[in-house]
């Protein structure tokens, strides 16, 4: 098989790494890819949102299956276009991708089909949104309706913070059209987890749990980022809780989207808050998470290509996924200043040394090649990923590897996985 992978980050490097393990795959193309992906796949200079260019490439190179990494091409309708051209593609249609494109739509679908989520109201008028916040008080959450690169959610501890968030989104338009409407919802307390399911429109398989770390600094301080690290499995998600999430969240959403006329194929990602009253959905995404993918796929024993092909073809019934009985941890090495301004072009050293232990992988997120050297080309530069028999072993392997890599102004969180270690070791007899 020839595979076309779309995207350019750490998630796509992990996908390319996993796809390459399939005995059925003879060639991988990645558009546009990055310097690390280029070690596995042939990178082609087509942007992820150039739908026409991607269709032409897939047809002219007789690609058997296309896998979409980022959300933008899905929201733009790449699956509809590819399917219309007779090309097999893994992912949801434009209609189904509304679950990520519009937080208003997602919340309304959850309300319609009884999926547990925070209480909310939606607003298109900033004056009404302000009045609602003043009435409800804080803490409270303000979410821009549309895509905002993971930065459109403000968890506000005070009313003044919420009013500022409304002003930034709806009046000053820092997220563009994404802030035309906002969702204002109750602030939930608990522990977060990421639950991903792969669906074929009617059937689905659940992936093992993960937990992302969004804040830039240790102890969940500082601004939100695209993700500073993750681990899998997440001890907060017990076997019983996972069954409850499947029953109360995944099943009604897959059934509901079918009833809405948008059968869901591809990855349904549920961001979950585990509260004292049970799981509550924070958000839905319609693709593999980043950086969750980087810790889930190294634990997957099953051929991912076969699962993706079954999803695209409506043939997931009876499928199961086998997992390594190990823990996996990923730490993001970021450019100085991220998620704000940063300087690219910094030389990276130590990657091969970090990988030498054999239990560590390094997935490239924002890198380029300059001569024989890797240099930084993004805010999130590398994902250092370690496996271990326990979460503590995985954490130790990962951070030992992080210490062997260097570039100017590099920074990373030092507490990825600490919550999991605490939870696991508290439960030991």
Of 288, 312, 336, the position where a domain reaches its end is: 312
Based on the fold, state whether residues 153 and 213 are members of the same structural domain: no
pLDDT higher than 80, residue 426: no
Based on the fold, state whether residues 288 and 217 are members of the same structural domain: yes
Please tell me whether residue 140 adopts helix, strand or coil conformation.
strand
Based on the fold, state whether residues 167 and 200 are members of the same structural domain: no
User: CA 166 → CA 31, 35, 389, distances in Å?
Assistant: 36, 39, 46
Structural domain includes residue 109: no
Of 71, 90, 109, the position where a domain reaches its end is: 90
Structural domain includes residue 276: yes
Structural domain includes residue 337: yes
Structural domain includes residue 145: yes
Report how far residue 146's alpha carbon sits from residue 124's, in angstroms, rounded to the nearest whole number: 12
Structural domain includes residue 14: yes
Q: What is the CATH number of the domain that holds 420?
A: 3.90.600.10
Q: What is the CATH number of the domain that holds 137?
A: 3.30.1490.20
The residue segments making up the domain with residue 269 are: 191-312
Based on the fold, state whether residues 240 and 334 are members of the same structural domain: no
Based on the fold, state whether residues 18 and 53 are members of the same structural domain: yes
Give the number of domains in the chain.
4
Based on the fold, state whether residues 141 and 202 are members of the same structural domain: no
HEC-encoded secondary structure of 41-75: CEECCCCCCCHHHHHHHHHHCCCCEEEECCHHHHH
Q: What is the CATH number of the domain that holds 307?
A: 3.30.470.20
Q: Which percentage of the chain shows pLDDT scores above 90?
A: 95
**Tens digits of residue pLDDT in 1-40:** 999 999 999 999 999 999 999 999 999 999 999 999 999 9
**Tens digits of residue pLDDT in 214-253:** 999 999 999 888 899 999 999 999 999 999 999 999 999 9
Per-residue pLDDT, averaged over 270-280, amounts to 97
Provide the pLDDT for residue 18: 98
Of 90, 113, 141, the position where a domain reaches its end is: 90
Based on the fold, state whether residues 307 and 215 are members of the same structural domain: yes
Provide the pLDDT for residue 114: 97
Based on the fold, state whether residues 411 and 349 are members of the same structural domain: yes
Provide the pLDDT for residue 148: 85
Structural domain includes residue 104: no
Based on the fold, state whether residues 298 and 393 are members of the same structural domain: no
Q: At what angle do helices 251-259 and 103-113 cross, to 10 degrees?
A: 100
Structural domain includes residue 344: yes
Structural domain includes residue 118: no
- Complete DSSP assignment for 253-296: HHHHHHHTT---EEEEEEEEEEETTEEEEEEEESS--TTTHHHH
Based on the fold, state whether residues 307 and 361 are members of the same structural domain: no
- Distant-in-sequence, close-in-space partners of 421: CB < 8 Å, separation ≥ 6: 391, 392, 395
Based on the fold, state whether residues 337 and 413 are members of the same structural domain: yes
- E strands, 286-388, are 327-334, 347-348, 360-364, 367-370, 373-376, 380-388
**Tens digits of residue pLDDT in 36-83:** 999 999 999 999 999 999 999 999 999 999 999 999 999 999 999 999
CB distance 380 to 338 below 8 Å: yes
| Residue 80 CB-density burial (10 A; 0-12 exposed, 13-18 middle, 19+ buried) | middle
Confidence of residue 190 (pLDDT cuts 50, 70, 90): very high
Report how far residue 329's alpha carbon sits from residue 92's, in angstroms, rounded to the nearest whole number: 28
């Amino acid at each position: 098989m020839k595979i076309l992978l779309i995207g350019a980050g750490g998630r796509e490097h992990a996908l390319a790494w996993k796809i390459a393990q399939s005995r059925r795959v003879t060639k991988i193309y990645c558009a546009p890819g990055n310097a690390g992906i280029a070690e596995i796949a042939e990178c082609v200079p087509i942007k992820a949102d150039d739908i026409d260019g991607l269709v032409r490439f897939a047809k002219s190179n007789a690609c058997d299956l296309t896998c979409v990494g980022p959300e933008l091409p899905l929201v733009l309708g790449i699956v509809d276009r590819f399917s219309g051209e007779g090309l097999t593609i893994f992912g949801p249609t434009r209609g189904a991708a509304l679950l990520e494109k519009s937080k208003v739509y997602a919340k309304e679908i959850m309300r319609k089909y009884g999926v547990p989520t925070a209480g909310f109201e939606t607003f298109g008028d900033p004056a009404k949104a302000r009045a609602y916040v003043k009435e409800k008080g804080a803490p409270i959450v303000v979410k821009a309706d549309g895509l905002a690169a993971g930065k459109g959610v403000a968890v506000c501890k005070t009313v003044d913070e919420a009013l500022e968030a409304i002003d930034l989104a709806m009046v000053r338009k820092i997220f563009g059209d994404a802030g035309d409407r906002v969702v204002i919802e109750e602030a939930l307390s608990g522990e977060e987890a990421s639950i991903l399911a792969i669906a074929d429109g009617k059937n689905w398989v659940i992936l093992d749990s993960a937990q992302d770390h969004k804040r830039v600094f240790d102890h969940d301080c500082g601004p939100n980022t695209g993700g500073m690290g993750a681990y899998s499995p997440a001890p907060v998600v017990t076997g019983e809780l996972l069954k409850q999430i499947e029953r109360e969240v995944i099943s009604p959403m897959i059934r509901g989207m079918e009833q809405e006329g948008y059968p869901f194929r591809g990855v349904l990602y549920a961001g979950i808050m585990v509260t004292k009253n049970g799981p509550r959905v924070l958000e839905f995404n319609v693709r593999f998470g980043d950086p969750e993918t980087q810790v889930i796929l190294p634990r997957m024993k099953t051929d991912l290509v076969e699962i993706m092909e079954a999803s695209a073809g409506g043939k997931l019934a009876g499928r199961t996924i086998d997992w390594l009985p190990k823990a996996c941890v990923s730490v993001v090495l970021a450019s100085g200043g991220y998620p704000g301004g940063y300087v690219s072009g910094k030389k990276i050293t130590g990657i091969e040394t970090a990988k030498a232990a054999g239990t560590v992988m390094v997935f490239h997120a924002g890198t380029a090649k300059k001569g024989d050297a890797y240099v930084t080309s993004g805010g999130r530069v590398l994902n250092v990923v370690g496996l271990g028999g326990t979460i503590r072993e995985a954490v130790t392997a990962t951070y030992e590897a992080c210490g062997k890599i260097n570039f100017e102004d590099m920074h990373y969180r030092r507490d990825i996985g600490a919550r999991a270690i605490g939870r696991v070791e508290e439960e030991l007899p």
